[in-house]
Structure 1
Amino acid sequence: MRRKTVLSKLGDGNLLQNSSLKKAVMQRMEGSASFSTVYKDQRSSLEKLYQSGSLKLRFPLYSDNHFEAVQINTAGGLTGGDKLFWKCELGEKTKATITTQAAEKIYRSLDGMPAEIDISLNLRKNSTLFWLPQETIFFNRGALKRKITVEMEEGAALLLVEAFVFGRKLMGEKVVNGFIDDEWQVRFCDELVHFEAFKINGNILQQSTRPAIFNANQAIATILYIADDYQSHEAAAREIIGQSGGVSAWNGKFLARMIEKDSYSLREKLAPLVKLLTKGADVPKFWSI
């Protein structure tokens, strides 16, 4: 007797072909990368480097003493069950900018499992970190669980910028459903100085129309600045952001939130804001408008 082939059409249009119905086993991606810096010869230099899986780090050479690390996810994005681990330790007196080669992409999760990103940043005494990755582009039915943990020692300074873009406007993409669980913990001299948890689940498109969430916009950003001069930038930052968000400065930290109609409009305001907070260092060269 000839054995019949069974085709089962899933809700998203994929096909399972087998002699019996079986659940597809999805291949998972995992990557890990870390580095540390040291101050020598009057400049910040790479001390240790580790990378495995899909994660890579590159360190462009510049004519000045600027130290920059560029994160690369060779997988081109994440989907359900993928895991990334980033770790950075800045030695005493070192200064570094960390950015990404491209926007990170969170694709649809077929089984509902979230992609996981774990970021650990350690700033030793009198070190300075500008964490300036490009946007995270979140696609329909994506799922993401991310945790950012920062440990700062005396005299350290931090600028942390993170942005989400929900679909690509020029492609006509809309994010209807999805899941995000994003948690930040920042400690200064072993004291918790900043904690936040952004969670959204279910019908994102419907929730995003609410004024208290995205007010029908497609791009959002959070900017956290912790340094001795945190209060001196508040007025200038308000002028840059305008009606697109808000700024607060208290208890040793500066916090701004922005919403815009698309990623281009968001970057138009992020670029001068970053330049203000980095005291003219400007956005990384990998950013472009």
Structure 2
Amino acid sequence: MFPRTSDTALQGVIVNTAGGVTGGDKLNLNATARAGTSLTLTTQAAERAYRAQPGQMGMVRNALSVEPRASLAWLPQETILFQDCNLDRSLTVDLNAHSRLLLCETLVFGRAAMGEKLTKAHLNDRIDIRRAGHPLFLDTIRLQGDVAAHLAKPATAGGAGAIATLVYVAPDAQGRLAPLRAQLGPTAGASLIGDDLLILRALAPDSFALRQLLLPILSNLHGAPLPRPWMI
């Protein structure tokens, strides 16, 4: 869906009419920000990875392309993992040497308010960002079995129930680092790993606490109000 906005930037809202992803599902999305344009993509609501039958897997493939002088903000709402889910997901981004990117992916390991714990789940989640064909940022999260026990380890997540990965690629990335770090708590960190590449990783006890941290950060980096679904 493409809601009307008050500015010249285009917004797209991705809708999963199935309500979630389960075993056997195969979902593909391809999107391009053409030269000189600005595109923001989000989702209507949180994505859900539901229980899969034995031997079945849900597959999601998202492929984005950003042309010269274009700007892309990939801001889906959180993905919630349910007990017995089996999700294989990848996000690939092809950047031009003169394009900008704001990307944020959030994973929630069961609904804390419902007392859910992931004692049996499988996740393979990959982010692959390349610029002019060369690797810029490669990241993979693999979890299998008793996810809750794994995340409870101090060296893993210290019991956190939600995690966010943020990538910001823009000429002003270096100047953004210090103000961004000032907004972070003890379970989040940000680093400049290139002249124009800033990475943030944040942990939180649940999706609500993580969203409270992310909202002002994303609004600032986006340079415009976030899409309406983020405010609902």
Assess same fold via TM > 0.5. Answer: yes
Q: Aligned Cα RMSD in Å? A: 1.2
Higher relative contact order (CA 8 A, sep 6+): 2
* Distance of 1:224 and 1:112 partners within structure 2: 33
- Tell me which amino acid in the other structure corresponds to 1:277: L
Greater C-alpha radius of gyration: 1
- Tell me which amino acid in the other structure corresponds to 1:256: L
| 2:188 paired residue number | 245
| 1:265 paired residue number | 209
| 2:90 paired residue number | 147
* Distance of 2:63 and 2:52 partners within structure 1: 25
* Distance of 2:94 and 2:41 partners within structure 1: 16
| 2:24 paired residue number | 81
* Distance of 1:127 and 1:112 partners within structure 2: 41
Structure 1 residue 282, shift from structure 2 partner = 3.0
Residue in structure 2 matching 1:178, options 121, 131, 143: 121
CA deviation map 1:83-130 (0-9, x unaligned): 100100111000011000010000011214221000100100010000
| 2:163 paired residue number | 220
Count of residue correspondences: 231
* Distance of 2:166 and 2:154 partners within structure 1: 20
CA deviation map 1:206-248 (0-9, x unaligned): 1010122221011110001111111111111112122121110
Identity %: 36
CA deviation map 1:235-266 (0-9, x unaligned): 11112122121110022310000010111100
Residue in structure 1 matching 2:136, options 154, 170, 193: 193
Structure 1 residue 79, shift from structure 2 partner = 0.6
1:276 maps to 2:220: yes
* Distance of 1:165 and 1:288 partners within structure 2: 18
- Tell me which amino acid in the other structure corresponds to 1:219: A
- Alpha carbons 1:233, 1:276 under 8 Å: kept: no
* Distance of 1:199 and 1:274 partners within structure 2: 26
- Alpha carbons 2:120, 2:144 under 8 Å: kept: yes
TM-score, L = length of structure 2: 0.96
- Tell me which amino acid in the other structure corresponds to 1:130: A
* Distance of 2:211 and 2:226 partners within structure 1: 10
